[in-house]
Amino acid sequence: MSSLRTLIPAAAILLLAGCTGTHSASLTPSAWSSHDRSLYGISRPDPVPLHGTYRTHAIAGTTGPAAIHIGEKVLEAGGTAADAAIATALGQIALAGGSWNSYAGIYMMVYYDAASGTTHSLNAGYNTVLGETDPGTIPAMGTASGRSTFVPGFVAGIQATHDKFGKLPLATLIEPSIDLAENGFVLSSTMGAIIDQRAEILKRRDETRAIFTKPDGGLWKAGDVFRQPALAQSLRNFASHGADYFYTGPWAERFVQAVQSDGGKITMEDMRLYRATWSQPLRTSFEGFEVCAIGLPETGGVQLVEALNLYQVADAKSLGSPATSAPALFRLMQIARFGYLPSFIHPVSTRADDPFAPENRATMAYAQQNLRRLDDPGFEMAFATELSLLAATSPAPTAPTSHSDSIVAIDSAGNIAALVHTSNNVTWGTTGIFVDGISIPDSAAFQQDKIALVGPGKRLPNATNPAIVFKGGRPYLVSGCIGSGLHEAALQNLINILAFDMDPKASLDAPMFLAPIWASFSDVAQGRRPQSVNRGEFPAPLLDAVRALGQPVTEFGRAEGLAQEGYWIGIQIDPKDGALNAAVSPRLIVAGAAEGK
């Protein structure tokens, strides 16, 4: 699995788009100029990055330069930030061939509506299956089973976003992805390598084999033009019939049949009952800013707000910069890791007397009460004991995978979207199920204990953490993050920018630690689990000083650390002149921008 994760960042080619009038007006890639088709990876693999500045609008994303260019064109055509996020997300999945994201995945968004001055949270996460009453027997990762499939939310999230904040017709926003699927694009070296590595899975079922093999029986490879005609037809049906086609129509019926043929328990009742849900974002004050994170029942927003609150009540800023101060780095590591086990063991608790219920964890009072636990290794041990009593078969909560995409967008009217969408599984999963050109994730294969806690037919909390930050009531920063270390990356970048007044690029260039090492969970009785960092990220004497304070630190080589990485993107709005300062994680290998005005 580590080899597969190693490939993902190489695919994460970024594009930041600003106001520009130098490109063709059409949203569909087949109508772009030969220059643009080459530049954004349609007619040639591995496109060349660009650089620029941003004034009236901006969009950034973690993969798919052509998809992000589509989003840029949507903004130029007068579309809202919601429109741009929709078109980009659809394109990212088409360009990935449903590998690390999926139209049958999940869709989580925080959105600021400039006209009303209101901020909204949208949850289109997975639902657990009504008939899945014994989740402990769901086969683990590596064993193909339809029982590892959840009720998907992505398409419902697209529909809900467009219904509330869309301006351009939904069919217009879907058309570029139809074009990508039908007319194809040149496979990058990364996609070619992933297809080759996952050959066994991609040949497992007839429909999937038909997508990824040539007429001569060989797999598609880097440099080939990859077309997805079945996907193009499914997207056309979405454009014509809306989300109902996927939840109560023919696609839903074929999806249920395919999953059940592999032993799954999903029924049409599961599909019919699914709804994307709007809620209030979680909010906290931090260093004079207001942070609006994705709301309940998602736990990533809880964990982010909880950590920001702990940082303040611990007066951690007074310890100095974590890049140079061992006490500051030690303290921030304790704050970052504090929320993992409560998130796993108490993800849906509504008991008023449960101090670790999500509703309680997002309060400043909770932070004050738990300040003393930051330096107590016994706190982790207590949760380890509780977790082992819940499910002896799963010794550690599974950290989020890096198989995701994030998009942040600001339109010329000031609307803002922060979106994360993901399949949350290894590329193409273990089942390799495709339905009418759409990959079906197997994300239940590593979340059996969480499913048991949530119960059948319920929304499954997840760790995504998109956020929008305000200063004096005006938007200041939009934040998106993916990867196993998404919590650590989002937290450290927000602290750098909001507490230490860094600009986004300076923040991303600063040293950062990664996710904790879950593999050592069984050894927690011996002390704290090691924190991971990339070798050379911090000075050796600084890490030695952190170890002396009681926090083990494991250093990884670049390839080894990929499984622990977080990848952050953001756009900062200058309060003085409104300039848009966008930045992307240098860990994403290649970053670029279209020139703006």
Question: How many folded domains does the chain comprise?
Answer: 1
- Note whether residue 327 is domain-resident: no
- Note whether residue 209 is domain-resident: yes
Percent of the chain with pLDDT over 70: 84
| Cβ-contact 406, 480 below 8 angstroms | yes
Average pLDDT over residues 347-365: 79
Closest of 116, 443, 126 to residue 277, by C-alpha: 126
Per the rule left: phi > 0, alpha: psi between -120 and 50, beta: everything else, 306 is alpha
Cα–Cα distances (Å) from 225 to 42, 95, 191, 432, 449, in that order, read 9, 11, 12, 22, 42
Backbone angles phi, psi at 379, to 5 degrees: -65, -45
Reported as half-sphere exposure (CB side, CA atoms, 13 A), residue 114 has a value of: 14
Tell me, what's the pLDDT at 518? 63
Show the DSSP H helices in 26-153 as ranges: 34-39, 65-76, 81-96
- Note whether residue 410 is domain-resident: yes
Q: Note if the bond before 297 is cis, omega within 30 degrees.
A: yes
Closest of 495, 494, 470 to residue 481, by C-alpha: 494
d(CA 130, CA 53): 49
Average pLDDT, the chain: 86
The β-bridge relationship of strands 467-471 and 474-482 is antiparallel
- Could you tell me the pTM of the whole model? 0.91
Q: Mean pLDDT lowest for which of 282-296, 481-495, 512-526?
A: 512-526
pLDDT tens-digit series, residues 61-82: 988 889 999 999 999 999 999 9
- Note whether residue 300 is domain-resident: no
Angle between helices 299-313 and 486-499 (to 10 degrees): 40
- Note whether residue 146 is domain-resident: yes
CA 160 from chain centre, in angstroms, equals 19
Tokens of 124: 């289109």
- Note whether residue 153 is domain-resident: yes
- Note whether residue 128 is domain-resident: no
Q: Which residues of 134-149 are buried (b: 16+ CB within 10 A; e: fewer)?
A: ebeebbebeebbbbbb
Tell me, what's the pLDDT at 56? 84
547 compared with 18, residue with greater pLDDT = 547
Give the range of the structural domain holding residue 578, as residue numbers without chain letter. 12-107+134-275+402-456+471-482+573-588
Token look-up 């049949």 returns 257
Angle subtended at Cα 519 by Cα 514 and Cα 568, rounded to the nearest 5 degrees? 20
Tell me, what's the pLDDT at 396? 42
- Note whether residue 489 is domain-resident: no
Q: Which SS3 state, helix, strand or coil, does residue 298 take?
A: coil
Q: Mean pLDDT lowest for which of 289-298, 431-440, 523-532?
A: 523-532
